[in-house]
Structure formats: structure tokens, C-alpha cells
Amino acid sequence: MQRLALALAFGALIAAAVPTPGLYLALGFGLGAVGTGVVAYRQTAASGFARLAGAAAIALGTVGFLLGAVRVVLALAAIGHIDRMLV
């Protein structure tokens, strides 16, 4: 579970830098990383490293999600500016 969470977290960070579909992938991967990271972190029988990997996936997934959200907001702001220019 920890490896999946970390893979989703790094996927979210990479997707935030990809052009067109990247912002939506970053949102999805970020949410997936946070969810699987919480599941991985809450396994109290797991080793300390496994729980730490889950916590790292939560943090990295949140950063990837926020980067994707910023890109969505910037796209919406650009559309608003173009709309005001045309009126």
C-alpha cells in the first residue's frame, strides 16, 4: 500500500508539470495519494518506515493536488480575462 501511495504522490507531482491534461491528472493522483497514504499510515502493525512512507505520500499528494488546483484557478482566471477583452 505504501508503494502505491508513493507512486501516486510522485505521479501527482509529475502530472502538475505536464501541459494539457496534467492538471486533472494531478488532482486525481493527489487525492488518490492522500487516500492511500492515510490507509498506509493507519496500519499500526506496520513498520515505522512503512508508516513514514504513508505520511510522506500524504504530504506529497497534498502538494501535487494543490499544484493542480492552482493550475485550474489560473486557467479559469485566464478565461475570465479573455472574456473581458472580447466584450
pLDDT at 20: 80
pLDDT tens sequence across 13-48: 999 999 888 889 999 999 999 999 999 999 989 889
Binned at pLDDT 50, 70 and 90, residue 3 comes out as very high
- Distance separating alpha carbons of residues 58 and 39, to the nearest angstrom: 10
Whole-angstrom CA distances from 73 to 4, 45, 68, 80 are 28, 41, 9, 11
In the chain, what's the furthest Cα-to-Cα distance? Answer: 62
pLDDT at 65: 96
In the chain, the number of structural domains is 1
pLDDT at 59: 97
Name the pTM for this structure: 0.88
Provide the domain limits for residue 49. Answer: 2-86
pLDDT at 87: 77
Whole-angstrom CA distances from 26 to 9, 44, 46, 49, 75 are 9, 29, 28, 25, 15
